[in-house]
Structure 1
Amino acid sequence: MKNKLFLTLIAFSFLGLASVNAQTTKIAYADVDYILSQLPDSKTIEADLNTHNTQLQNQLEAKYQEYQQKLQAYQQGAATMDPAIRQDKETELAQLEQRIQKFRQDAQSSLQKKQMDLMQPVYEKIGNNIEAVAKENGYAYVLNGQIAGVDVVLYADAKFDISDLVLKKMGVTPASK
């Protein structure tokens, strides 16, 4: 009987401690997209990506114009061409078309890689500053308000949004929301 009473008291003690700990756990959220949009780095990155994209588009356009010229020349002279020459021209056009498709794929990969290379240090800096703000303010958890436009936190009181604190920690004055 004493053991049962003792175990019951210990169980209630643990429940009491668990409820006290649950009440003191601080949770906040930050909107990483908002933070990113406020950073001067994001405008520089966007300009770099636009420049890279324009260069790739110009190269693609040049390849496409070359293809169009050769296709037009082929179409104008196809009726009078020797069958062997016509076959060579058709093979050349098919190869050009394949190179254009490959260039499109490579350009897309190049643009994505460039974006990752440029964004990685910024995301690290944001993450480090979120961690610093969380530690300074005693938050046990910091959630992202949304990811790719989808709300992760379904409800949050605005007083727990630390996005502006993170921006201030990074030396950026937040614009009014």
Structure 2
Amino acid sequence: MKNLFKGAALAAVMFLGTQYVSAQQKVGHINADEVFQATPEFKAAEEQLKTLQESKGKEYQGMVEEYQKKLAEAQEKARTRSEANKATVDVELEAMGQELQNIEQRIQENQRIAQEEVGKKQQDLLAPIQQKVMNAINAVAKEKGYAYILDVSNGSVIYFDGGEDVSADVKAKLGIK
């Protein structure tokens, strides 16, 4: 009986001790996407990516225009085909068809390469910014004594009530007004 009482008392002390310790942990939240997009580096990166995408778009448009021009030539050539020039025009149309296929392949390859280049450039530009924001979040968490910082921007937090929004502190740490 005495052992049962000691066991129950020990369990109660452990439970209350755990509750006391967990009550001492500070929890904060942040919209990391908002902070990330507010950095001047992000705005500069966004402009660089926009310029690159426009450049690749112009290349693509030029290739499409070349294809359309060749296609129109082939269609015109087909309209002028007669029994008298059938053999000659058929050879020319076959060559034009092969050229159109080559242009289509170049367009597809150009699109693939452009997507890869834009993706790599995006990674190269945004990764250092993400690291800088994460470092600032970690520094604020340590300075303010937070045990947890929850990111409410990615939808992984379904509910939060209270806690402290540390977005302003992180923005201040990054020099963002």
TM-score interval, normalised by the smaller of the two chains: 0.7 to 0.9
Aligned with residue 146 of structure 2, among 139, 144, 147: 139
Q: What is the rounded CA distance, in whole Å, between the counterparts of 1:4 and 1:85 in structure 2?
A: 100
Q: Counterpart in 1 of 2:26?
A: 26
Q: Counterpart in 2 of 1:155?
A: 160
* More moved, 64-73 vs 160-169: 64-73
RMSD across aligned positions (CA): 1.8
Is contact 1:146-1:153 (8 Å) kept?
no
Q: 1:151 to 1:9 in 2, by over 3 A?
A: closer
Aligned with residue 168 of structure 1, among 146, 169, 172: 172
Is 1:3 the equivalent of 2:3? yes
How far did 1:110 drift?
2.0
* One-letter code aligned to 1:14: M
Q: What is the rounded CA distance, in whole Å, between the counterparts of 1:144 and 1:102 in structure 2?
A: 39
The answer for unaligned runs of 5 or more in structure 2 is none
TM-score w.r.t. the length of structure 1 is: 0.87
How far did 1:74 drift?
1.2
Is contact 1:144-1:153 (8 Å) kept?
no
Q: Counterpart in 1 of 2:49?
A: 49
* One-letter code aligned to 1:164: A
TM-score w.r.t. the length of structure 2 is: 0.87
Local SS of the residue matching 1:140: strand
Local SS of the residue matching 2:29: strand
Q: Counterpart in 2 of 1:63?
A: 63
Is 1:127 the equivalent of 2:134? yes
Q: What is the rounded CA distance, in whole Å, between the counterparts of 1:110 and 1:7 in structure 2?
A: 66
Is 1:108 the equivalent of 2:115? yes
Is contact 2:77-2:89 (8 Å) kept?
no
The answer for unaligned runs of 5 or more in structure 1 is none
* One-letter code aligned to 1:59: E
Local SS of the residue matching 1:116: helix
Q: What is the rounded CA distance, in whole Å, between the counterparts of 1:122 and 1:154 in structure 2?
A: 28
How far did 1:151 drift?
6.8
How far did 1:153 drift?
4.5
* More moved, 62-71 vs 72-81: 72-81
How far did 1:49 drift?
0.6
Q: What is the rounded CA distance, in whole Å, between the counterparts of 1:153 and 1:36 in structure 2?
A: 21
* One-letter code aligned to 1:168: A
Q: How many residues align?
A: 170
Q: What is the rounded CA distance, in whole Å, between the counterparts of 1:30 and 1:153 in structure 2?
A: 14
